A = this chain, B = another copy of it.
Amino acid sequence: MTRSRREEVVDVALELFAERGYRGTSLDAIAAKVGLTRQGVLHYFPNKKRLLVEILRRREELNREHLLAEHAGEDWPGQMAEVVAYDHEHPGLARVYSVLMAESVTEGHPAQEYFRDHYATVRERMVRGFTERWGERLPSGLTPRAAATALLALLDGMQQQWLLDREQADHPEIIEDVLTVLFGLRR
């Protein structure tokens, strides 16, 4: 049962970080909700920061942006629409990611370096993928760097809008249409 209790701690931390932010969540609150003592939680994670790292790592496993750059092709805006639809079905992870990302620009936040490196790495990987496929200009005329920056911004920004108003069910279609235009692909 050790493994599943550890998973339970991660799940509860994810939920509370999404509800109250990283800084607004104490180890005691996590412990209380799991039904452990503070020492019990510390058995699995020596401090709150290690829990944060675990959650970011879990998100990383979904690894969606990496996948994207490597498979950039004609039907790729449609694949992206599926990714957005998937996020809408799993709002917990989307919300914790959005909250932690924005919180990370505050002073001395433990996730700041993670997000800075994460963006730099994903953007570079996309730029490489786009350049291999299309050279110095995409069919739309944009540079690979402009397209990668815009794509990441669209995913983050649209997720933010959707988190505030989940009635917006048309985001998958919007991302498909917008990327088709932005990259200059066939409709």
A contacts, CB < 8 Å to B: 18-21, 23-24, 95, 98-99, 101-107, 112, 115-116, 119-120, 140-143, 145-146, 149-150, 152-158, 160-161, 163-165, 168, 170-171, 173-174, 177-178, 181-182, 184, 187
Across the interface, do B98 and A102 meet the contact criterion of CB distance under 8 Å?
yes
Copies in the complex: 2
A112 & B21 in contact (Cβ 8 Å cutoff): no
- A106 near B160 (CB under 8 angstroms)? no
Return the 8 tightest CB-CB contacts between A and B, nearest first.
Answer: A153-B157, A102-B102, A157-B157, A156-B157, A153-B158, A19-B107, A105-B163, A146-B174
Is the Cβ of A160 less than 8 Å from the Cβ of B156? yes
A–B complex contacts, Cβ < 8 Å, 5 sampled: A99-B106, A103-B103, A104-B164, A141-B177, A150-B174
A-B contacts besides A103-B103, A181-B182, 11 pairs, CB < 8 Å: A24-B24, A102-B160, A112-B164, A145-B174, A146-B173, A146-B177, A149-B168, A153-B160, A154-B157, A156-B157, A182-B182
The minimal Cβ–Cβ distance linking A75 to chain B, given in whole angstroms, is 18
Closest to A116 in B: B164
User: Smallest Cβ distance from A110 to chain B, in angstroms?
Assistant: 13
Taking the nearest CB of chain B, how far is it from the CB of A95, in angstroms? 6
How distant is the Cα of A142 from the Cα of B18 in the complex, in angstroms? 33
8 Å CB contact of A107 from B20, B150, B187: B20
Q: Which residue of chain B has the shortest Cβ distance to A183 in the bound complex?
A: B181
